[in-house]
Structure 1
């Protein structure tokens, strides 16, 4: 009788896990789809021939002593941004990526997905690029919604990554149990039959 009760409890647990697995998958299908596609693209960004991530171009000098001051390079980058792309774009900087070994400095802007690569020594334009990888990353981690709704502390990203992380943990646990549980039940049934 105890063995029968134990099997019934295991079967009930399997049904609960199957229900959690199915409902979570149905509710979050679209989000899992976007995460998988964007994750795949981000994995390939350095191997996309400049489509997802612009290549880093070579400047004239790798010696920082030969370089122009950063404020001068910044001024050049903003001028190029407004003259070459649009005078309406914000020149607010997200980050400055200094590649000493390439003799290049890259200005990445905060409010849009453009970047400007300049020769560190001459200040001349090396490349204007769209930061498609940043856009894809913002979709991947949900921060694109924070940008759209102009939240201040990335609250949507925090909620989104927490829900998706917990869902993935739930999928892993329930998926494992849906695979292992029936094997365990069959094994116990076989042992009982032999006994």
Structure 2
């Protein structure tokens, strides 16, 4: 058996088994990614409100944003440590404060008025999707292995697709050369 045929057979085995084993991770990443893309129509995230139009220099200071968000009486929000992330959305002139407990507060950046305090599960989805929920050990081992395996699966798939085409083309060329 030639080296190219052996490489082809090895490529098929690697492709099949790594694809089967890692399909669980691929599916998990794909499902959480799709939920993130469609989070507003699915009701997973609170729709972004729009604050009063003003320049960023007129924005409420960050310490005031934190105190406003923390004072909303949300369940399991006791201190600044409960804040997961604060986002400033210049297009809407809004601060969006996301908490670890899937709560969100939207604050008008120029007035400090609270625009929304609805639940927002996008934080949970983001942490699932990027692996933060499981910790750095998951992010740097499983997600790295998953990403590298996706690259390996792509190349082995290209090879398995291209090798038979190449062999057929060579066989046709050899047959033409024999006819001449």
| TM class, shorter-length | 0.7 to 0.9
Aligned match of 1:135? 124
For the residue of structure 1 that corresponds to 2:171, the secondary structure is helix
Whether the 8 Å CA contact 1:58–1:102 is kept in 2: the answer is yes
In structure 1, list runs of 5 or more residues that go unmatched: 147-153
In 2, Cα distance between equivalents of 1:66 and 1:185: 68
Decide whether aligned partners of structure 1 residues 50 and 16 sit closer, same or farther in structure 2, where only a CA change above 3 A counts.
closer
Match among 144, 158, 164 for residue 182 of structure 1: 164
Match among 74, 77, 85 for residue 66 of structure 2: 74
Aligned match of 1:12? 6
In 2, Cα distance between equivalents of 1:74 and 1:124: 13
Aligned match of 1:151? none
Would you tell me which structure has more helix in proportion to its own residues?
1
CA offsets per residue over residues 146-178 of structure 1, 9 Å max, x none? 1xxxxxxx2321112210111101110110111
How many residue pairs are counted as aligned between the two chains?
A: 176
Aligned match of 1:32? 26
Whether the 8 Å CA contact 1:141–1:160 is kept in 2: the answer is no
In 2, Cα distance between equivalents of 1:192 and 1:65: 74
For the residue of structure 1 that corresponds to 2:168, the secondary structure is helix
* C-alpha RMSD of matched pairs (Å): 2.5
In structure 2, list runs of 5 or more residues that go unmatched: none
Deviation of 1:184 (Å): 1.1
Whether the 8 Å CA contact 1:61–1:120 is kept in 2: the answer is no
CA offsets per residue over residues 20-60 of structure 1, 9 Å max, x none? 00010111121111122222233334xx3372432221234
User: Are residue 123 (structure 1) and residue 115 (structure 2) matched?
Assistant: no
Deviation of 1:89 (Å): 5.5
Whether the 8 Å CA contact 1:62–1:100 is kept in 2: the answer is no
Aligned match of 1:97? 87
For the residue of structure 2 that corresponds to 1:97, the secondary structure is strand
User: Are residue 114 (structure 1) and residue 96 (structure 2) matched?
Assistant: no
Matches within 5 A, 1:156-167: 156-167=138-149
Aligned match of 2:174? 192
